Amino acid sequence: MIKLFDAHCHLQDSRILSKTPQLIKAAQDNGVVCFAVNGVSEKDWHLVKEMSENHPSVIPCFGLHPWFVAQRSPSWFKTLKEYFDATPSAAVGEIGVDKGSHGRQIDFSEQVQVLRQQLELAKELNKPASVHCVRAFGDLLELMKSIGPFPAGVILHSYLGSAEMVPEFSKLGAYFSFSGFLMSLKVNKAKKMLKMVSSDRILLETDAPDALPNSNIDSLFFIEGDASLPEHIRGNSTPSTSSSSTDASMLPKETLNHPANIRNVLDYVASLLEISKEELAEQSYQNAVRLFSYEGSKVLQM
Ligand SMILES: [Zn+2]
């Protein structure tokens, strides 16, 4: 069976937390061996830590996401460092910069300052860092150049930057991780960018419970009880055998993404790269294993 590594997701998210054990089980039954679960603020780091203690397949990641920069406490950085001291298996994330519709409301210089501290910490701890970047790739590249290189790796998660920037980020140690969001790019643009990513730097992720792939509805897993699902599929949480031609774009945009849908991301990226899904699964899995093999990592015990 195909083995997959979800390089970035949020199984601690309050929208799905009560169902996490079933979601992990279903994803494992579909080949997902590991989940890098990213905390986003001081409020959820304990949930991520606890989840990793209960699930050998969960790799904990701690970070302050740019959307939560304004709410950080004066001691956030000290607390973050304590989490790393207490959790040798952890990586850094989710951190980043955002000039999108949501991120624009948050002071950008504070975002950069908080990101800088966390990138420096990742470098010092020799751990990979999962980075969110929306409409701020130039700023991110400048910052990474001023701190880097990053021999332990930086994951540019749900990467939607340009093809031209791929070599620049690669030189600094970046990996490029793709989710359902890739389906929002024009096919030609996505192809051009993907072909710039060297095969030893490609990763797959779900960003679950966000980033539902825009696939045929019958090929998707849904989260049981998701109130944003239309009634006729609400009872159907696993891919059905019928084949309608409806895709997920008809669903409300708050429809939750299931971690087993990494299969749909695999299919899509493999089709754009014109390689087999077995080949892409193997490459991306090996890349994630290498990246997450830092000292103390659970991956070393697998
Ligand atoms: Zn995320």
For the record, the structure tokens of 75 come out as 């001691």
Cα 185 to Cα 167: distance, rounded to the nearest angstrom: 20
Which CATH class for the 4-213+257-301 domain? alpha beta
Give the other-Cβ count within 10 Å of 13's Cβ.
Answer: 18
CA of 89 to the centre of ligand 1 (A): 19
Q: Write down the residue that tokens 């970047």 correspond to.
A: 133
- Closest among 79, 176, 63 to 115, alpha carbons compared: 63
- The CA 234 to ligand 1 mean position distance, Å, reads 25
| pLDDT at residue 208, as a whole number | 97
Distance CA 49, CA 61 (A): 8
Q: Which helix (H) or strand (E) covers residue 8, if one does?
A: strand 4-9
pLDDT tens, residue order, the chain (302 aa): 899 999 999 999 999 999 999 999 999 999 999 999 999 999 999 999 999 999 999 999 999 999 999 999 999 999 999 999 999 999 999 999 999 999 999 999 999 999 999 999 999 999 999 999 999 999 999 999 999 999 999 999 999 999 999 999 999 999 999 999 999 999 999 999 999 999 999 999 999 999 999 988 888 999 988 888 887 777 667 787 666 668 888 888 889 999 999 999 999 999 999 999 999 999 999 999 999 999 999 999 88
Question: What is the pLDDT, as a whole number, of residue 243?
Answer: 61
Q: Which of 74, 85, 154 lies closest to 114, judged by CA?
A: 74
Q: How far is the CA of 262 from the centre of ligand 1 (A)?
A: 14
Cis peptide before 149 (omega within 30 of 0): yes
Return the DSSP state at 131: E
* Domain definitions of the chain by residue range: 4-213+257-301
Question: What span, in angstroms and rounded, lies between the C-alpha atoms of 259 and 189?
Answer: 26
Contact assessment for residue 49 and residue 83, using Cβ atoms and an 8 Å cutoff: yes
Q: How far is the CA of 96 from the centre of ligand 1 (A)?
A: 10
156 contacts 94 by C-beta, under 8 angstroms: no
- Cα end-to-end distance, the chain, whole Å: 17
Respond yes or no on whether the N-terminal peptide bond of residue 94 is cis (omega within 30° of 0). Answer: yes
The pLDDT score that the predictor gives to residue 239 is 80
Binding residues for a divalent metal cation: 8, 10, 94, 132, 157, 207
Angle between helices 187-196 and 262-273 (to 10 degrees): 80
Distances from the Cα of 275 to the Cα of 123, 201, 216, 283, angstroms: 34, 16, 21, 11
